[in-house]
């Protein structure tokens, strides 16, 4: 059988397609064979009793003066009590086709091997079974025909057919069910591996658990784990490089920023003030970028921080971030405030602080003097969230997707920034399985960025549970 299966067909389906139809055919063929065998036995048994009747008739033949006579009364005794509904017929012919007695309409079974032959025939509207016994007498060959109607045989045949069919039906069904269950349970370890992979966050590079992996899939899982290892190592090296580079940059940057800050305030350099201011701002941006690169390196998925997540209260965290930014907001003539409600998440406190720091940083950078920036948290443990709202110029709806990309900045945007802020926010939110939504603020003005964290308990359960629900 050449079955063309799409290579992507699931193994489950493939096994069922390959097993079920041939099995079903085999079962039906087996049933048919059973039926045939039973029919042969039944027919032989009934024919035998019909033959007995023929022998009995033949035994009553007498030859007188070269002529054959049948002794009367002639009644096929063995059959009489067997089945009342059955009708019996007989005829006895002498040599030269002379009817000795019986029904002349009764056909004879054609001659064959031996002197006992059987045939199915019709008598009027009755279907009959005829046995013909050719018996040699002193006066030549007499032909004894005995026939019965077939209602008994029909009933037996019907019974055999029904019972075989029923048995077959039960067998086929239960076999199919067993195959289906077998395939399902046989593939369970494979599904468990699939579940293990599916339940992981795509950023997770932890090796897969191989303790319950079947031998056939083991090499595949081992290869995957090898690949994870390589990726982990590469990510670690990259992170290390970025971190080292950022650290190396920080000390000279600190010196340059310090001097430029002092120079811009130095009366002796008053003539150069505008140029020094440009230099200072440029240097601040370099410093900021170095910090951001470092934050990004720390937040990379490979850092595998999910393992070290702890229950974190967002309220003191927000307070710290706001406190750090009060001076900046005063300088920029912005009203930085908070609206705090209980909120706890499973996460890394300093990463979330980085996240919020970036959101506040953006809001302070892009909101013009006189504006308001409000940081909110709330949602308790079931739907904890962080939110930063400003009444600045806002982000046009079309740009809301792109501002999340690294190094992307809004066209014509003012203020410091290297375009990493929201990328870092996205990265950290992703690690915490939190969703980031960008909207307009109250009344359609400004920007409102909300980070919606998963429920505290559900998040910590999801980390440990590797159970698969098929």
Partner 1 sequence: MRILVVEDNDLVADAIARGLGIAGFAVDRAPSAELAATALAAEHFDLAVVDIGLPGEDGLTFVRRLRRQGATLPVLILTARETVAMRVEALDLGADDFLMKPFEQTELAARCRALIRRANLNTNGQLNFGRLRIDVAGRQLRIDDKPVELTGREWLVLECLAFSAGRVVSKERLQQTIARWDQAMTPNAVEVYVSRVRAKLADAALIRTVRGLGYRLDEPEA
Task: Using CB atoms within 10 Å of the CB of residue 348, give its burial: 0 to 12 exposed, 13 to 18 middle, 19+ buried.
Answer: buried
Among 63, 190, 287, 410, binds partner 1 (CB under 8 A): 287
Q: Judged by CB, which is closer to partner 1: 233, or 327?
A: 327
Among 319, 393, 413, 419, binds partner 1 (CB under 8 A): 319
Tokens of 70: 């049948």
Among 253, 303, 317, 403, binds partner 1 (CB under 8 A): 253
Part in contact with partner 1 (CB under 8 A); list of ranges 15-23, 34-42, 85-93, 257-265:
257-265
Q: Does the protein bind partner 1 through residue 245 (CB under 8 A)? A: no
Q: Does the protein bind partner 1 through residue 282 (CB under 8 A)? A: no
Handedness of CA 392, 396, 401, 405 (dihedral sign): negative
In DSSP terms, which residues pair with 120 in a beta bridge?
129
Q: Does the protein bind partner 1 through residue 340 (CB under 8 A)? A: yes
User: Looking up tokens 């170095």, which residue turns up?
Assistant: 290
Q: HSE-up of 71 (CA within 13 Å, CB side)?
A: 9
Q: Does the protein bind partner 1 through residue 341 (CB under 8 A)? A: no
- How many CB atoms are located within 10 Å of the residue 137 CB? 16
Contact call for residues 392 and 446 (beta carbons, < 8 A)? yes
Q: Does the protein bind partner 1 through residue 418 (CB under 8 A)? A: no
Q: Judged by CB, which is closer to partner 1: 371, or 454?
A: 371
- In angstroms, what is the minimal distance from the CB of 247 to partner 1? 5
- String of contacts with partner 1 for each residue 358-397, x by CB under 8 A: ----------------x-----------------------
Q: Does the protein bind partner 1 through residue 42 (CB under 8 A)? A: no
Q: Does the protein bind partner 1 through residue 82 (CB under 8 A)? A: no
Q: HSE-up of 437 (CA within 13 Å, CB side)?
A: 9
Q: Does the protein bind partner 1 through residue 261 (CB under 8 A)? A: yes
Part in contact with partner 1 (CB under 8 A); list of ranges 113-121, 126-134, 249-257, 407-415:
249-257
Q: Judged by CB, which is closer to partner 1: 15, or 377?
A: 377
Give the alpha-carbon dihedral of 178, 179, 183, 185, to 10 degrees: 10
Q: Does the protein bind partner 1 through residue 350 (CB under 8 A)? A: yes
- In angstroms, what is the minimal distance from the CB of 334 to partner 1? 11
For residues 356-390, b (16+ Cβ closer than 10 Å) or e, as one string?
bbbbbbbbbbbbeeebbbbbbbbbebeebbbbbbb
Among 188, 200, 232, 259, binds partner 1 (CB under 8 A): 259
Task: Using CB atoms within 10 Å of the CB of residue 19, give its burial: 0 to 12 exposed, 13 to 18 middle, 19+ buried.
Answer: middle
Q: Does the protein bind partner 1 through residue 247 (CB under 8 A)? A: yes
User: Looking up tokens 């290390």, which residue turns up?
Assistant: 240
Q: Does the protein bind partner 1 through residue 59 (CB under 8 A)? A: no
- In angstroms, what is the minimal distance from the CB of 361 to partner 1? 14
Q: Judged by CB, which is closer to partner 1: 27, or 321?
A: 321
- In angstroms, what is the minimal distance from the CB of 310 to partner 1? 12
| The three-state (H, E, C) secondary structure of 54-105, written as one string | HHHHHHCEEEECCEEEECCCCCCHHHHCCCCCCCEEEEEEEHHHEEEEECCC
| Count of residues engaged in binding partner 1, rule: CB under 8 A | 30
Contact call for residues 422 and 365 (beta carbons, < 8 A)? no
- In angstroms, what is the minimal distance from the CB of 270 to partner 1? 15
Phi–psi pair at 261, nearest 5 degrees: -60, -45
- In angstroms, what is the minimal distance from the CB of 195 to partner 1? 34
- In angstroms, what is the minimal distance from the CB of 262 to partner 1? 5
- In angstroms, what is the minimal distance from the CB of 342 to partner 1? 13
Q: Judged by CB, which is closer to partner 1: 130, or 253?
A: 253
Among 169, 335, 435, 457, binds partner 1 (CB under 8 A): 335
Q: Does the protein bind partner 1 through residue 322 (CB under 8 A)? A: yes
Q: Does the protein bind partner 1 through residue 326 (CB under 8 A)? A: yes
Question: Could you tell me which of 372, 361, 379 has the C-alpha nearest to residue 434?
Answer: 379
Question: Could you tell me which of 384, 385, 387 has the C-alpha nearest to residue 456?
Answer: 384
Helix or strand (DSSP H, E) at 374 = strand 372-378
* Residues at the contact surface with partner 1, assessed by CB under 8 A: 247, 250-259, 261-262, 265, 287, 290, 319, 322-323, 326-327, 330, 335-340, 350, 374
């Amino acid at each position: 059988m050449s079955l063309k299966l799409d290579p992507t067909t699931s193994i489950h389906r493939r096994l069922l397609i390959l097993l079920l139809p041939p099995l079903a055919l085999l079962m039906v063929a087996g049933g048919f064979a059973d039926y045939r065998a039973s029919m042969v036995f039944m027919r032989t048994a009934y024919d035998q009793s019909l033959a007995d009747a023929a022998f009995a008739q033949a035994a009553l033949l007498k030859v007188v003066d070269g002529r054959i006579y049948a002794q009367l009364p002639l009644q096929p005794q063995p059959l009489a009590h067997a089945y009342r509904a059955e009708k019996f017929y007989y005829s006895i012919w002498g040599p030269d086709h002379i009817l000795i007695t019986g029904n002349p309409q009764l056909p004879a079974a054609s001659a064959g091997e031996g002197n006992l032959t059987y045939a199915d025939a019709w008598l009027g509207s009755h279907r009959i079974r005829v046995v013909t016994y050719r018996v040699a007498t002193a006066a030549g060959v007499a032909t004894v025909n005995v026939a019965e109607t077939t209602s008994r045989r029909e009933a037996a045949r019907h019974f055999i057919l029904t019972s075989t069919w029923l048995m077959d039906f039960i067998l086929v069904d239960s076999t199919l069910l067993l195959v289906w269950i077998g395939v399902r349970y046989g593939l369970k370890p494979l599904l468990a591996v699939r579940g293990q992979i599916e339940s992981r966050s795509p950023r997770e590079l932890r090796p897969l658990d191989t303790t319950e992996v079947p031998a056939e899939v083991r090499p595949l899982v081992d290869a995957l784990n090898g690949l994870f290892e390589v990726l982990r190592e590469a990510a670690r090296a990259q992170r290390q490089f970025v971190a080292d580079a950022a650290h190396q940059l920080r000390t000279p940057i600190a010196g340059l920023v310090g001097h430029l800050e002092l120079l811009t305030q130095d009366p002796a350099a008053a003539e150069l003030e505008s140029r020094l201011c440009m230099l200072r701002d440029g240097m601040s941006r370099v410093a900021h970028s170095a910090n951001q690169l470092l934050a990004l390196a720390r937040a990379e998925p490979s850092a595998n921080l999910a393992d070290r997540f702890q229950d974190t209260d967002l309220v003191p965290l927000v307070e710290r971030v706001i406190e750090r930014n009060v001076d900046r907001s005063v300088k920029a003539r912005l009203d930085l405030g908070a609206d705090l409600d209980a909120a706890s998440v499973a996460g890394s406190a300093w990463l979330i602080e980085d996240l919020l720091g970036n959101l506040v940083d953006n809001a302070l950078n892009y909101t013009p003097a006189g504006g308001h920036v409000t940081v909110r948290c709330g949602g308790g443990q079931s739907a904890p969230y962080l939110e930063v709202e400003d009444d600045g110029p806002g982000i046009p709806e079309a740009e809301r997707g792109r501002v999340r990309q690294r190094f992307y900045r809004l066209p014509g945007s003012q203020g410091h920034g290297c375009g990493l802020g929201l990328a870092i926010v996205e990265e950290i939110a992703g690690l915490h399985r939190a969703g980031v939504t960008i909207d307009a603020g109250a009344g359609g003005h400004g920007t409102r960025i909300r980070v919606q964290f998963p429920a505290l308990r559900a998040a910590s359960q999801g980390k440990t549970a590797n159970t698969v629900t098929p």
